[in-house]
Amino acid sequence: ETKLWVVDNFTNEKDIYPQIEEAADLLRNHEVVAFPTETVYGLGGDATSDKAVDKIFAAKGRPSDNPLIVHIGDKEQLHTFVESIPSKAEKVIDAFWPGPLTVILPKKDRVSDKVTAGLNSIAVRMPSHPVALALLKKVALPIAAPSANLSGKPSPTLAHHVMNDLEGRISGVVDGGATGVGVESTVLDCTEEIPIILRPGGITQKELENVIGPVKVDRALLSDKEAPKSPGMKYTHYAPDAPLVIVDGSSDFFQSIIDGYKDQGKRVGVLTTSEHEDAYKADAVITCGSRSNLETVASHLYESLRSFNECDVDIIVSESFSEEGVGHAVMNRLMKAAGHHVIKQ
């Protein structure tokens, strides 16, 4: 049975609710518990416990060659499992922690290979969500936490998404309401002289470059032909039940694509924005935000993708977005959800 602790009016980090204590106790006892972060819900387990880490992989159905991010509530914890902190890493940590940035650093030998999937580096982040921070400070252990979805599904941005995927498979869910950023943290490999973005996310390339100068982007993010440096980026991801295609063109072109699917007898879902929500005739039209503010799109993207599962559609047609700022992360996730299927005018 999966417990649900509602703490969504939680604002003060210092008020430790009894619910947080209960969740922390379960984590100390090698159990796995989901909790909100400012990006998406994470499925936490004690990173120093092989038993807990095994439970994370089992609950998600996650391939064991995909390493986990270790979450900490206190920078001092870093030194217990990281071999060294290059100066550029130090700078981005100071600038963006707590926040949606994961750094890849050289790991110490004693970190379990189960967490890092046998790599000699480790991914670490300090989330800024008050509930996540309170829980991490309470347990005072490094907590491994992948997104709390079944492997392959869109990441959860609401507690009920976690329940839909993992109820009965995990010990509990701390419900802190909607997460915020809505797409996962930026993963930055700091083991190279020029750091490399392995996964675009809540912190943009520009924001990083303002602090440490030039930052590269993993070439695999620019095409689907290259092998990604981050193991997780090679898997099909973020997918709703129905296939998804991205359409890049005018509203008339977009409608002609919808009509083409309808002519094949398909029920068509449309993923659009407030600017175009009245422009299309389809079986289900879902608005994920405003094109003029891509933060709103990032924030509602996964919820929108999940909501098509209740619409009984055969195909989902999505608008395309600019890759500026957080648009980089939005398009990266949409392209993965679509298996890189884009129809250009």
Interaction between residue 147 and Mg ion (CB under 5 A): yes
> Interface with ligand TXA includes 112 (CB under 6 A)?
no
244: enclosing H helix or E strand: strand 244-248
Least distance (Å) between residue 232 CB and ligand TXA? 2
Q: How many CA atoms lie within 13 A of 106 on its CB side?
A: 8
Least CB distance to ligand TXA at residue 111 (A) = 10
Beta strand pairing call for 3-6 and 172-175 = parallel
Report d(CA 20, CA 137) in Å as an integer: 10
Q: Per CB under 5 A, does 185 bind Mg ion?
A: no
The amino acid occupying position 211 is V
Q: What 3-state class would DSSP assign to 319?
A: strand
- The least CB distance from residue 118 to ligand TXA, in Å, is 10
Interaction between residue 296 and ligand TXA (CB under 6 A): no
Candidate ranges 47-55, 140-148, 190-198, 333-341; the one touching Mg ion (CB under 5 A): 140-148
The answer to the question of whether 171 is labelled as a binding residue is no
Tell whether residue 28 is among the known ligand binding residues: no
Which residue's structure tokens are 């099909």? 236
Residue 126 binding target from Mg ion, ligand TXA, none, CB below 5 to 8 Å by type: none
Residue 134 annotated as binding?
A: no
Q: Which of residues 225-264 bind ligand TXA (CB under 6 A)?
A: 230-233
Sheet of 42-46: strands edge to edge? 3-6, 172-175, 33-35, 42-46, 143-144, 69-71, 121-125, 101-106, 186-189, 196-199, 216-217
Contact (Cβ atoms closer than 8 angstroms) between residue 142 and residue 42: no
261 is in an annotated binding site: no
Among positions 26, 27, 78, 145, the unique one binding ligand TXA when judged by CB under 6 A: 145
- 20-to-118, 129, 175, 329 alpha-carbon distances in Å: 32, 14, 11, 31
For residue 302, the minimal CB distance to ligand TXA (Å) is 11
What is the chain's percent helix, strand, coil content, to nearest 5? Answer: 35, 20, 45
Is beta strand 216-217 parallel, antiparallel or unpaired with respect to 196-199? parallel
Question: Could you list the residues that contact Mg ion (CB under 5 A)?
Answer: 147
Q: Which residues are annotated as a binding site for L-threonine?
A: 39, 71, 125, 145, 185
Binding residues for ATP: 62, 66, 147, 155, 199, 238
Q: What residues make contact with ligand TXA under the rule CB under 6 A?
A: 37, 39-40, 42, 66-69, 100, 102, 104, 116, 119, 121-123, 125, 127, 145-147, 184-185, 187, 198-199, 230-233
